[in-house]
Amino acid sequence: MEIKYEYSRKRSEFGRPCSFSDLLAEVTVDIRPDPTLADDFIPQDPVDFGVQEGPMLAVHEVNTERAEVSIQGVNHVEGGWPKHVDPKNPELTTRYREEVEREEVYTKTVQRLGFVVEHFIRQNNTIDIYEEYFEEEEEEEEEEEHPSAKTINVIRDPNTPRRMATHLSWHPDGNRAVAVAYCSLDFQDSRKELNADSYVWDLEKPYAPELTLKPSSPVVTLEYNSKDWHHVLGGCYNGQIVYWDTRKGGLPMEMTPVEFSHRDPVYGAYWLPSRTGTECFSGSTDGQVLWWDIRKMSQPSERLVLDITRQDQLKNALGAISLDFAPILPTKFLVGTEQGIIISCNRDSKTPPEKIANIFRSHIGAVYRVTRNPFFPKVFVSVGDWTAQIWTEELMDSSSIMETKYHSSYLLDVCWSPVKPAVFFTARSDGVLDIWDFLFHQKEPSLSLKVRPQHLWEPRITPGPSVTPPPVPCPQVSNDPLLSLCSQDNGRILGCGTKQGNVSLLEISPGLCTIRKNEKTLTSTMFEREARREKVLQDKYRERLLREQERLRAQPEEQEDALETFKQAQADFLSSIKAEKRRK
């Protein structure tokens, strides 16, 4: 059915403007339903209708322009001299000074300025303009602050596939840059597409590396020279030692020959505080510690075999998987081995066996990291298996004086806080960073956080002084293991390297990086107390062993009877197994 409605108007009315008006609704056609047509259709029951009550929104994307930062330098030239006087010539400058000092104007000017300077000196001595009147109130406010941390930046490996961030080293000049060693430590990982470059990152421009270090083999460890900031030392995966001068680009200045280098990857390399600033030493899992001078890297200047039997045999050497050196003890260093033993060495000893000063049997597995306390050099911490342990060199052949609880995941790295003597950080294989403050809490970490590359962390605070624990623990977000830790000199920024090549920079709350009054004294007292306790337990254990040995000497027959009983039980066990096999 077609409905039509014709409109007609006069020809003279064409072209005139329309005049609209509001009229009531008018029914033009009314079509009634035909019940006979219902047989041709199937009723739909139920009928679903969707109604959207939300407002219609438009999606817009905005890409902000990234600020381009450039580094510019200014050269300062000494001025104030006449044109005929060369400032670099000491004879001309001295002669000109003597001429000026003989002038009458110079004498009057010095006398006039002398009264003014004297007035201000007396004024400064009368009033201390830098005096702080509310130190105690500020300290009370800091004590009430909960421990916290936040991610301020993330540095990612620019290559694909991603490699592990195995070591971090901060630039000695104000920590303005960080050197990151990238290497794959997976067993027999021989992928050809893996890149061997490592990078130096400027914190002001983290989107692109400031310098690309191009070694012949992937670098496992990197270390800045505190005496010459432009020199960077690296230990390679193939055992070579290499160093760069950052002023001359990313190509190595020199490297050790393969035949005189380590036979395994170099897991530790440090600069030595020598007069020239060119000496260094390295440790590897081949069981050797080698000393080098970058002015002559054709062969090592000294060698030490890590043979704890003191026979200087390389076949009996223990593999060094971690190395620690503190400039405050220039002749001593610590070596963590794959066998779970920590070796304390002294370079000043005359013979190689005497250089192995002491042995600490610490962990079940490899000692992934060992480092000295910056305030108490005789105290050091180590991580391996599932726990971190604190040791002291004053107790020989003893166990640790303090240790953390056993975790469900491996501990892979540890570092002390450079500003608080009782605070240290541990990295776990499940991606959790633990911050311990043994002065206040020894059973649980003060703060545990999951390092997330994209977002801020979610804390899990341990009950402590004036701290209320939250009801929800830290959620599991990522399972990337944390491999390396390194703290800035001020203790405020902590770098965390992961297995996926991400380096997260965390800003620690002021309560965890500000030393309090008497904190150093209290920490020293705590270490001394635990050392005395361990010594008492060690003496009692030795007395018990002596009594046991005397009892066994007095009763040799009973010992023989026990041995015979063991042999008889073993024979019965084997016979029962054979009988069970025959029966089957």
DSSP 420-479: -TTEEEEEETTSEEEEEETTT-SSS-SEEEE--SSS----EEPP-TT-PPPSS-------
Q: Which helix (H) or strand (E) holds 504?
A: strand 503-508
Of 231-240, 264-273, 275-284, 446-455, least confident by mean pLDDT is 446-455
Looking at the domain assignment, is residue 14 inside a domain?
no
Domain membership flag for residue 178: yes
Q: Phi/psi at 547 (nearest 5 deg)?
A: -65, -40
- Examine the domain organization and report whether 88 and 159 are in the same domain: no
Question: Does pLDDT of 562 surpass 80?
Answer: no
What average pLDDT does the segment 422-443 reach? 87
Do the domain assignments include residue 505? yes
Q: Are residues 115 and 153 in the same domain?
A: no
Q: Are residues 111 and 187 in the same domain?
A: no
Domain span at residue 105 reads 83-121
Q: For residue 309, give both structure tokens.
A: 């039997």
Q: How far apart are CA 571 and CA 564, in angstroms?
A: 11
- Tell me, yes or no, whether 334 and 237 share the same domain: yes
pLDDT of residue 1: 58
> Mean of the per-residue pLDDT values for the chain?
82
Identify the pLDDT of residue 377. Answer: 86
Tell whether 231 and 331 lie within a shared domain. Answer: yes
Does 486 fall in a domain? yes
d(CA 109, CA 103): 10
Sheet (strand 231-236) strand order: 219-224, 231-236, 241-245, 254-255
- Per the model's pLDDT, the better-predicted residue between 482 and 65 turns out to be 482
For residue 118, name the pLDDT band (cuts at 50, 70, 90): very high
Q: What is the mean pLDDT of residues 41-53?
A: 79
Looking at the structure, tell me whether residues 196 and 93 fall in a common domain. no
Query: Which range has the worst mean pLDDT, 142-151, 159-168, 498-507?
Result: 142-151
Rounded Cα gap, residues 296 and 277, in angstroms: 13
Q: Residue 251 has which token pair? A: 């190509």
pLDDT digits (tens, 9 = 90+) for 7-22: 777 777 777 777 778 8
Name the residue with higher pLDDT: 544 or 191. 544
- Same domain as 382, residue 239: yes
Question: Does 316 reside within a domain?
Answer: yes
Beta strands in 294-437 (DSSP E): 302-305, 320-325, 332-337, 341-346, 356-361, 367-372, 379-384, 387-392, 402-403, 411-416, 423-428, 432-437
Tell me what the mean pLDDT of segment 385-404 comes to. 83
Per-residue pLDDT averaged across 141-166, rounded? 78
In a domain, 240, yes or no: yes
114 with 181, same domain?
A: no
Q: Region 443-451: what's the mean pLDDT?
A: 82
**Top-confidence range, 58-72, 384-398, 402-416:** 402-416
Q: Where are the beta strands (DSSP E) in 105-240?
A: 149-155, 164-170, 177-183, 198-202, 211-213, 219-224, 231-236
Burial of 512: CB neighbours in 10 Å, binned 0-12, 13-18, 19+: buried
Residue 341 placed within a domain: yes
Helix locations, 249-366, DSSP H:
352-355
Structural domain count, the chain:
2
Other beta carbons within 10 Å of 250: 16
Judge if 113 and 155 occupy the same domain: no
75 located within any domain = no
The H or E element containing residue 486 is: strand 482-487
In which band, very low, low, confident or very high, does the pLDDT at 143 lie, cut at 50, 70 and 90? low
Q: What is the pLDDT of residue 465?
A: 40
Cβ(368)–Cβ(386) under 8 Å?
no
Q: Identify the CA nearest to 390 among candidates 377, 405, 376, 404.
A: 404
Residue 416 shares a structural domain with residue 496: yes
Which of 523, 538, 553 delimits the end of a domain?
538
| Whether 360 and 257 share a structural domain | yes
CATH of the domain at 172: 2.130.10.10
pLDDT at 556 (0 to 100) = 60
Mean local confidence (pLDDT), 369-389: 89
- Identify the pLDDT of residue 113: 92
99 and 155 co-located in one domain: no
Residue 462 pLDDT: 41
